[in-house]
Structures are given as C-alpha cells and as structure tokens.
Structure 1
C-alpha cells in the first residue's frame, strides 16, 4: 500500500476519530471536526463510514443555545468487554467495563484461606458473578487483567514474592486462569498497576522516570524508566519487601539496628509498636499515622522516626536509579499526607546524593483496579481498533498460539458484527 493512498488516510483518520471519542466521550460532528482537523464533509463521511461498520453509534442530542440540538456520537461500547480484578489475600474485587471504558458493574467477594483449587474456584466464581451482573454471557470477556501481590515470572507464569497469598504459587497463574475463564488473562503486580494509574491520571502524567513506593504489610515498589515499567528478569523488579536495611528510628522497639527486613519495619504491627514507643496508642498502622498528625510533639517525633524507616529502604532504589520523582502511595502514605511525604524527602536527602523530590500519590480510591482496567482497555483497543497500546502495557505471561487463545474472540468476528 502506498503511503499516501486514500485507504491508508481513511484508516488514520478513523483511528484519530475513535481516539478522540474514547478520550472525550460523546461528541458532536463539529466538536469531532475541530479535534481531528478534518473538513465538515470529510468528518460527516467518516462518521457515516464508522456507523455503518458499527464502530460508532448515535448517542442522544447536545442541547443548549437557541439553535437546533446537535447529534452526539460515541464509540460502540458493545464491541468488546473487559474485566479488571484486584486480588488480595482477603478478597477479590472485580469490575466489568465495555470498550468505551463505561463501568457496567462491580462485584467484591471474600477469598478462602485454602489451596489452589479453593482459591481458583472462588476467583472464577467472582468473575462469573460480575459478568452475569453486567448482563453478559460467560464468554463475553475479551481480556481480563488481574492486579496481584508479588510478581509473575515471565518464563514460567508462576507467581513469586507473594508468600502472603496462599494457594496461588507453583503453577502458571495467567495460563490457568486463561483456561478456566476461557479468555486471555494478564496478571500484573498490584503496585505496578498503581504506577500505571499515576501515569494516566496522577502526579506522574508528565514524568518519564519515577519510583512509586507502597509502604504497608508486604511493602512494594514500582519502577518506571523512560515511561516503561521495569519488571526484571524474573518479574521481581521493585520487590523491596525483603531488602535488608538498618532501623534508623530513634525510638527503641527491640529491632536489630544493624539490619532487618524492610517489610518487617513497615508492617502495621511494627508501626503500631513504633507509635507506642512515642506514647501513642492505635489499633493499626494507618490509625497510628492519622493520630500522629494531631498529637503534637510526640506525634511529630513518631512521624520523623517512621520517615527514617521508609527513607532507609527507598535510598537504595534512588541511589541506583536517580529518578525524577518518588511517589508514596497506599493507606499509610495517604494517612500521613504531605507531612509524611515531606519528612521522607528530608530524611532521604541525608542518605543519598540525588535531590529527588518525594510527593504523595494523587490517585486514591481503588488504584489497583483502576490500573488494571486501563491496562485491559489498552490491550483490547489495540486489537479491535488498531490503536497503539501504551508502553506501560502489562506483561501477558507465557502465551499459547493466538488461534488457540479463544476462538470466539477474533478481530474478524468483531469487524463483522
């Protein structure tokens, strides 16, 4: 095909229109015309072509002003559906959306403390229930992205670095889920997905190199270099929970000052114990940090000690990577707010040469599931519309041949609807 052929130009314009509709929601013809830079007749022809192909559909009228109301157009969400899942030791949280990004339903279910058969059955049952709630059939999902603690080995598909997630180790996790759900499945580290969400809608939107830290039980980190998530040879990049670091807190809580597991210093129990050493009582690390903000001198000293512990582990990452930004995310970080972030930044500057700013992550609510949803949509939009997936697209695990992955979900089928 010649570079300037009419067919190629139509494809380019069609993709530009679809991207604009996905990014901005329902648009009138004139609004779309302004966004993609085509003439009025060319935009009208484009919409007619896409409507005939069932790619876009009419979506009500835009009111306002004294003139006639204008027709709105949107992407046909029914072309494909995805599931986003946040998997934790306690629960599975599922969201179903169509290809336009419209959320159709949410479903949360408890996870059993059992073996592989029990957890797989509970997981698939939750996804099936959510799919049914969305009014879809059992084979309607085009892609599923699961945010999970730990990391999937790209060579074997086995989940590692997640001893607190019983029942999920020792087998090809995305492969097994793919077989049980009968659809392509991606399993991505939960903190990586939070970093992805920060790149899409948070503080890292215009940052190329950054580290996101999630201080909590089983502390995690995500590393982004030149806009791409770094996963490592075995998928374990950012798994800093087992890093051996000294306890730099001033208050004595009986830890080994010469070196201990980073995750042990920042577990909820360890934070509660540190707070108690400063005269503050709380039932969890989250509440201890919240309480400290209004506890005067004792609260401030506790937060400084906590910042010393966080900085001790983050320093190793910053000294090697020299990122533009360190983001603190998760329940503990949000509880401490900008006060804790500033204290971590001050302590970090005592340990490393780079003057890396430390800020509070912007995305709250359900960032793991939101990142999983954006990842699933990126994969499916590439398949259906030919839109280039972001460089942050998650690892899909060991893959079967495309023809065997799910015969019921092919590009040709979608184009022929």
Structure 2
C-alpha cells in the first residue's frame, strides 16, 4: 500500500460518515457502522476523531428495550452557518441556518431598489440584523445565496433582465456584496432555485428533463435537461418572459410576460366579470366560481400555453410544472386547461402539473445551494443534486 493511503482512507470514511449524519440525522454508532460499512472499532475511532475535531457531537440517547440506551451522534451545527435570501422589489426574506440545515431564524427587511441606491450598504445592514436575530455575528456566516428576479451574467456579474431592480444592476453584484459582507455571495435566478428545490424535495425528484413556469407578479421560467439547469451563455436561459408570441384576443403580437403578468391577468379577468387587485386573487375567485369562471380561465390558459409551447417545441421535456401564486390559485383546474391548450399547439403530449414545494421555495432553494457550497468547502461533499449551484 502506497504512502499516505491510510490517511486517504480515513478522509474517505470521515466524509462518508458526515454525509450520512447530515442526510439521516442523529444516529447511533451501530447505525453508522451499518450504513458506511466499517467495523465496530473503526467506527468508534472515527466518531472519537470527529468529536475531537468538533465536527460531531453527542445528541441524546435512543431509548427502547432493556439494557443501556444507545448514544446518538449528529453533526455539530455550530461548525458553520449560512444565509439564504429571497430578494424581490418589496424587500428581502432571510433564513439563517446552521450546517445541518436547521433554520435558526427567519427575518424580513425592506431594501432600496431605485437606481443609484447604496444597495450593498443596505444589504449589509439587513444581513447583520438577520444574523443578530439568530444570536450570531456577520463573520459567523460562511456563505450567502440570494435568489433574485433576474439573470446573472456569469462573465460580468451584472444582474440582467431585472428592470424592477434598477439599483441592483449595472455592476458586479456578487463581487460588490461579497466585499461589503466579507463573505462569499452567490446570486441565482429565483426560478432556478425553485427548480433546484423541486428536484430535491418536490415533483421533479425523479425527473431528468422538465420546464418550470412561474406565474405571479411577473412570469419566469427554468429549464432542466439531464438534471442540470440550462443557464445559457449570459445567464438568461429560461427567461421565458421575453418570448415573442402571436397576438391573442385580437391583439398584436407581443412579449409573453406582458400577457401573463399580474396586471394583464387582472385586465383579462375584468373582461369576464371578475375583479380583484392581483392575478392570483382573480384566478382563485374564478376557480371557486366553477362553471362561471371557465371562460376566463380558458382564455388565461390559452395565453400561458402559447408561451410554454415555444419551450416545449425546443426542449421536449418530460413535464411542465407550474408554480407561483397564480399557479397555486389556479391549481389542478388551471393546469388541466393549460395542458389541453398546449396539446393543441405542439406534437408532444407533455403533462402539465403543479410544483409542490410549500412555503417560500426560492428561499428554500437558496438554503440548499448555500449548504452545498459550504459542505463542499468544509467536508468535500458533493451537492445534493447534479445541478451546479455556483
């Protein structure tokens, strides 16, 4: 056996043990021994070594049966901390978590969006407040991932396709924020993060190729091929709001996003006798109205399908998943209508379903991304999926 091999084997075994404890939670020594395939003495030595290094800690005992109760072990959450952020024109939603993924605090803060604003300074202040609410300091963070409504150009670091966030555009955004915080910052498209989360814990867990369509205040998309996000040369892969589609309802051709954003849906609903302040409000009312809402929902589904058809014709995915407030309000009714309209426009009989990750899927995806970065840095662990996260 060549020199250095025992050390290499220890590193491999340590990595396997840490990965198992992160995935499966607190385990006994015998549980860990079974999963990673080591002998009882080797597993005991491994746990002692990792405990001395501060990587694992004793975490209670497992009861049941007669005799002594078995000691449980888990990864020490205090080893590192991360921040996940959902950035919108209305502000930022933070989640601060430890290395195990346990969320220590959630925090909301308004942030400036206007051109010329000191967005880096404002973001630093908000991040300091968020970490303080978890009884941490800024330098306790190892990485920050921000989900933003735009496309980050990997060559320049500029946030593009984001007219609603003018103050965050026109400069190296991750570079400036990293400098302001003193910690690495990754900027990711918000819908890409939703797609990542769907692959980890949602409807796309078993899919290799799918398209995600976000319908909310605006429209966005993500394209996954072979379980890898299609990002494009300038980061604009999946930016379906800029698709040009034929005129609908007697109108001229235009941008897809202008036909299915919240104001456009509210206007379309008014023509059919439904009134409300947001697209998801009028769609929800139409669904509850049963047959009376069918004409409006069919017209909306036709608009959605015309944009989706362009992507399906090129990508031919296994499934199209609808997400966002409008999609949630429309539910299975809207998804079924979109599928019917889509199948009139393209050859593939692509199913149309609903994304299933609850809560804030953008922030959840950002959290998984941040954890993947730090776990790879500290432990050499591969990301939870094949999707590149930086």
TM class, shorter-chain normalised?
over 0.9
Q: What is the CA distance between 1:12 and its match in structure 2?
A: 1.8
SS at match of 1:100: coil
State the 1:49 CA deviation: 1.7
Matches within 5 A, 1:60-79: 60-79=60-79
1:373 to 361, 367, 373: 367
1:271 corresponds to which of 261, 265, 279: 265
Check whether the contact 1:152–1:160 (CA below 8 A) recurs between aligned residues.
yes
Contact 2:127 2:138 in 1 (8 A): no
Identify the residue that residue 393 of structure 1 maps to in structure 2: 388
Task: Out of 177-186 and 96-105, give the one that drifted further.
Answer: 96-105
> Paired residue for 1:336, among 323, 330, 340?
330
Tell whether 2:116 aligns with 1:151. Answer: no
Q: Find the aligned partners of 1:323 and 1:4 in 2 and give their Cα distance.
A: 47
Quick one: which of 272, 283, 295 aligns to 1:301?
295
The 8 Å contact of residues 217 and 263 in structure 1, kept in 2 or not, is answered as no
Which residue does the alignment assign to 1:24? 24
Query: Within 2, Cα distance between the matches of 1:247 and 1:359?
Result: 26
Q: Write the deviation string for residues 236-260 of structure 1: whole angstroms up to 9, x where unpaired.
A: 0111112111244xxx5xx62x411
Taking structure 1 as the reference length, what is the TM-score of the superposition?
0.90
Structure 2 CA distance for partners of 1:2 and 1:223, relative to 1, 3 Å: farther
Cα deviation 1:271-290 (Å, max 9, x = unaligned): 11211222222222111111
Alignment-derived partner of residue 209 in structure 2: 209
Q: Secondary structure at the match of 1:96?
A: strand
> Using the alignment, how far apart are the partners of 1:164 and 1:310 within structure 2?
22
Unaligned runs of at least 5 residues, structure 1: 396-417
Q: 1:276 to 1:74 in 2, by over 3 A?
A: same
Structure 2, gaps ≥5 residues long: none
2:191 alignment partner in structure 1? 191
Shift of residue 2, structure 1, vs aligned partner? 4.6
Name the counterpart of 1:161: 161
Tell me by how many angstroms 1:106 deviates: 1.4
How many angstroms apart in 2 are the aligned matches of 1:36 and 1:91? 44
CA distance in 1 between counterparts of 2:18 and 2:25 reads 10
3-state SS of the aligned residue for 1:139?
Answer: helix
Deviations 1:201-240 (A, max 9, x none): 0011111111111023331101111111111111001111
Closer/same/farther in 2, CA of residues 300 and 66 from structure 1, 3 Å limit: farther
Aligned counterpart in structure 1 of residue 283 of structure 2, from 285, 289, 306: 289
State the distance in 2 between where 1:340 and 1:304 align.
8
Residue matched to 2:55:
55
Aligned-pair CA distance for 1:343: 1.3
CA distance in 1, matches of 2:50, 2:75: 9
Q: Does 1:101 align with 2:95?
A: no
1:116-174 deviation line (CA, Å, top 9, x unaligned)? 43333322211110112222222121111010011111111011000011201111000
- Please name the residue that 1:400 is paired with: none
Deviations 1:8-31 (A, max 9, x none): 222222111111110111111122
Q: In structure 1, the residue corresponding to 2:387 is in which secondary structure?
A: coil
TM-score (norm 2): 0.96
C-alpha separation in 2, matches of 1:106 and 1:85:
10
Between 1:340-349 and 1:184-193, the stretch displaced more is 340-349
Deviation at 1:91, TM superposition (A): 0.8
Provide the rounded CA distance (Å) in 2 between the counterparts of 1:66 and 1:246: 73
* Segment drifting more, 375-384 vs 132-141: 132-141
Q: In structure 2, what is the Cα distance between the partners aligned to 1:165 and 1:10?
A: 48
1:382 maps onto 2:350 in alignment = no
Alpha-carbon separation, structure 1, partners of 2:239 and 2:255: 12
Q: Over aligned residue pairs, what C-alpha RMSD do you find?
A: 1.7
Structure 2 residue matching 1:328: 3-state secondary structure: strand
Runs of 4+ in structure 1 displaced over 6 angstroms? none
Q: Distance in 1 between matches of 2:237 and 2:217?
A: 18
